[in-house]
Amino acid sequence: MWRIDDARALVQTVDFFPPVVDDPYVYGWIAAANALSDIYAMGGEPFLALAVAGFPDDLPLEILGDILRGGADAAAEAGVVIAGGHTVTDAEPKYGLSVSGFVHPDRILTKGAVMAGDVLFLTKPLGTGIITTGIKRGIASVPAEAAAVASMQRLNRGAARVLRDIPAIRACTDITGYALAGHASEMAQASGVELRIDTSRLPILIDALTLAGAGCVPGGTGRNRDYLATPDAGGVTRVRLAAGVDEPVSAVVFDPQTSGGLLFAVAASHADAVREAFTLAGEPLWMIGDAASGHGVHVS
């Protein structure tokens, strides 16, 4: 973030990754939506982007065209201009955006503003990493794939605009490859509080638990768990799981998300107003826990 004047700060981000679905157009859209999400999570509005792509020289260029078209259409829905970009030859397709946005310096949302007594809300269901792994293995059901794709394609723009209209909201992040557990851990550490996540309240995509129970999880799930649920050099465990959390649910908590939702905190006294605002805007919302004195994340 770079402060320009009393009314504007520039926010900048970049994100790109290999395909998560087979359809090139849908992949391009999802990758663009994922990149735009970082701006929304900071309370900003994106306005300009540059495309970043790697593409094999033995695949038809029409595929690259479909990827770029998908990203351009997602950007257009967000009101963002893709002004250019850069492409290199690569062994595997990769695509994403470098995005610029504006935010009011007094309304920047950070990870470090959660207070004990706040409640936690999430704006998208979990499980996209598990389901896209199932898609790659050819075992995800048609309804599961459709639900995951719809979630990943949904921009966080609407949710972010609701947040900007509620001054009581101070803290926010988006849920991507570090999983719900990892991004919650970052908020807890930055804020000096404990975040308590109630797994019975988590929104989970159709068939994600079934696939996880069958061992269909991405490699990132295990890496997230190993890092977050293992004590660090000082003996502190970033994410603690209660004994009653079963394995499929645990996998969802550590599941790396693509174009996931926004996780934000607000004082409990404003929770009803937040729910009402999201309902009026037609935006999904789930309350998944709260914040208390302490440290780290407790999952029960």
> Could you tell me if 130 and 81 lie in one domain?
no
Query: How would residue 233 be classed by pLDDT, with cut points 50, 70 and 90?
Result: confident
pLDDT of residue 68: 98
What integer is the mean pLDDT of 176-180? 97
What integer is the mean pLDDT of 292-300? 97
Query: Got the DSSP string for 91-160?
Result: SS-EEEEEEEEEE-GGG--BTT---TTEEEEESS-B-HHHHHHHHHHT-S-HHHHHHHHHHHHS-SHHHH
CB 242 within 8 A of CB 232: no
* Residue ending a domain, choose from 106, 133, 161: 106
Helices then strands, each counted (H, E), the chain: 10, 12
What integer is the mean pLDDT of 38-67? 97
pLDDT of residue 220: 96
pLDDT of residue 183: 98
pLDDT digits (tens, 9 = 90+) for 83-118: 999 999 999 999 999 999 999 999 999 999 999 999
The secondary structure of the chain in percent helix, strand, coil, rounded to multiples of 5, reads 40, 25, 35
pLDDT at 24 over 90: yes
Average pLDDT, the chain: 97
**How many domains are contained in the chain?**
2
Quick one: how far is CA 125 from the chain centroid?
10
pLDDT of residue 263: 98
> Could you tell me if 236 and 120 lie in one domain?
yes
List, in sequence order, every residue forming a beta bridge with 150; answer none if it has no partner: none
Expressed as residue numbers, the domain containing 272 is: 110-299
Please state the pTM of the whole predicted model: 0.96
* Residue ending a domain, choose from 59, 83, 106: 106
* Residue ending a domain, choose from 50, 77, 106: 106
Query: How would residue 282 be classed by pLDDT, with cut points 50, 70 and 90?
Result: very high
